[in-house]
Every structure is written in C-alpha cells, then in structure tokens.
Structure 1
Amino acid sequence: MQRSDVIPSIVLSAYALGRIAAQDAGNEAPAAQWRVLSLLGRQGATRVGELAAAARATQPGMTRLIGALERDGLVRRSPDPADSRAVVVETTEAGAQALASWRDEFRDTLAPRFHALDDADWAALARAAEILTAHTDPTGSTDRKDSAQ
C-alpha cells in the first residue's frame, strides 16, 4: 500500500464525523452554512464566486446561502475594496460566535466516541490535525512536500 492511500480514508472519515456530529447533536442547520462560516473564519472577507468555488457550490446557490446567512445576521456583504463592482462577504460577530458554538457542540457530541483513547492516540490525532490544517490552508501558502507516495 502506498502512503497516499490513507488520504481517501481521512476524507471519508471526516465526512462521516461531520454527519454523525450533526445528527447526534440534533443540529439541523445545513452543512453548507458551517462550511461557508468556516471558510470565512479561515480566510477572512471573500468574494462570493471564490466562496462558491471553495465550497463546491454554484454561484447562484452560494448567493442564496449568503442571503440567508445575512438575514440571520451571521455574515455581511460589502463592496470589495480592490474592485467596487464586486462584493465581499465576511462573518459578523454573531457569525463568529455561532461558528464557535457549533464547534463546541460537535466536540462535545463526538467526545464520547473517543473516550478510550490513550495519550499516544491523542498525540497522534493532534499531529494529524496539525498536518491536515497545514495542507488545507486556503491561501496555499504552506510548504507542501511532494514526496508522499
């Protein structure tokens, strides 16, 4: 087995954890809402088209989602300082608080599934989280190694 064969397992497990957490917590908000708030939390003010591409959504679909998030007070739209014809979206304080609460809720919901892990397992998960975060940097500024086989 090649090293990179673990990547699909990580991706599928991450999706499963997200679904399980939402179901077990009774969180009925669309996953796309949390994806958008997470993206905005990581990269700051972003154009709608860039958000759509990052979230793998259509631009009209993203525009509708942003409209709903704006009505709920979770994001705000403003003119792009670099191009007054374009609009950027950013989280509001309420959006940042909702995202933090969502993360806390999902952590607390999933924690019992991991209660039997020992310190070595927690260290391995912490390191895996660091690696995944570094290699999913939306700015693309991480130093990626091409040596994984």
Structure 2
Amino acid sequence: MNSPDVISSIVVSAHALARIAAQDAENDAPAAQWRALTLLERTPGRRVGELARASRTTQPGMTRLVGDLERAGLVTRSPDPSDSRATVVDITPEGLRALAEWRESFRAALAPRFADLDTADWDALRRSAEILAAHSIEESEQTGENA
C-alpha cells in the first residue's frame, strides 16, 4: 500500500470506528456535538464561524448546535472581548465531563475489537496516534489565533 493509500485507509477506518463505537455504545448524540466540544476543549473561546469551519458545517447549523449545547449546559456564549459584535463559545465543566464520559464509553465499546492485539501492535498504534495527532493540528492551534 503506498503512502496516499495508507492515509486514505486510516481516514476511512477512523470514520468506521467512530460509527461502530457510537452504535455499540448506544450513543445517539450527533457526531457534530462531540467535534464541537473537542474543538472547544483544545482551544477555548472560539467564534461560531470558526467552529463551523473547523467542523465542516454551515454557520447557521453551528449556531443551532451551539444553542442546543448551551441549553444542555455544555457550553456558554459570551461577547468577544476583541469585537463586541461577535460572541465566543467556551466549554463548561459539564461539557468537559460529558466529553470524558463519551470518550470512555467509546473506549469501552471498542475494547473487545482490539483485545487480541499484542504489545507490538499497541506500540504501533500508539506511534500512529502520535503521528496523526501531530499532523492533524488545526492552523489556529498552531498559531494560537482565534478567527
């Protein structure tokens, strides 16, 4: 398998694992919710438009999602200190707890699928995860900017 095929295979497999984990964990929350909370965990104080771009959704769609998350107590909105016309979104302690619980339920749901891996396989996955994380940092995280 050549390099571009490996990357494509990883992306497709990651999406499949996410779907399987959600089904096995009986988690019917939209994936966009967890993406938004993860983005806010990594970089707090993001504008709705920035969240929409990072989540590959529309700004109106993200506005609706943020409203739902705010009503659930998972995020807060406040005026942007650098632009009073804009608002920024932050994850709440309850949002952090929900995100941690979601990750744990997914880990537990997927664990049986990986029970047969040996130490070398786990080492390879750990290294792969490090490489993927290093190459999937968003531009705003690299520069420390919020759009």
- Give the whole-Å Cα distance in 1 for the aligned partners of 2:31 and 2:49: 18
1:2 CA drift (Å): 3.0
State whether structure 2 residue 142 is matched by structure 1 residue 141.
yes
Aligned-pair identity in percent equals 65
> 1:3 — aligned with what?
3
Q: 3-state DSSP class of the match of 2:78?
A: strand
- Give the whole-Å Cα distance in 2 for the aligned partners of 1:73 and 1:136: 28
Q: Which moved more, 1:50-59 or 1:39-48?
A: 39-48
1:88 CA drift (Å): 0.6
Q: 3-state DSSP class of the match of 2:116?
A: coil
> 1:43 — aligned with what?
43
Q: 3-state DSSP class of the match of 1:86?
A: strand
Could you list the per-position Cα deviations for residues 12-47 of structure 1 after superposition, in whole angstroms to 9, with x for gaps in the alignment?
101000000000010011111111111111122100
Asked whether the 8 Å contact 2:43–2:141 carries over to 1, the reply is no
Q: Name stretches of at least 5 consecutive residues in structure 2 with no aligned partner.
A: none
User: Structure 1 length normalisation: TM-score?
Assistant: 0.91
Q: 3-state DSSP class of the match of 1:141?
A: helix
1:3 CA drift (Å): 1.7
1:5 CA drift (Å): 2.0
> 2:63 — aligned with what?
63
- Give the whole-Å Cα distance in 1 for the aligned partners of 2:81 and 2:127: 38
Q: 3-state DSSP class of the match of 2:14?
A: helix
> 2:87 — aligned with what?
87
Letter in 1 for 2:48: V
User: Structure 2 length normalisation: TM-score?
Assistant: 0.93
Q: Name stretches of at least 5 consecutive residues in structure 1 with no aligned partner.
A: 143-149
Could you list the per-position Cα deviations for residues 89-139 of structure 1 after superposition, in whole angstroms to 9, with x for gaps in the alignment?
010000000000000010011011000000000000001111111111123
Letter in 1 for 2:142: S
Asked whether the 8 Å contact 2:40–2:90 carries over to 1, the reply is yes
> 2:54 — aligned with what?
54
- Give the whole-Å Cα distance in 2 for the aligned partners of 1:74 and 1:141: 25
1:61 CA drift (Å): 0.4
Q: 3-state DSSP class of the match of 2:13?
A: helix
Letter in 2 for 1:131: I
CA RMSD of aligned residues (A): 1.3
Matched residues, number: 142
Change (3 A) 1:67 1:140: closer
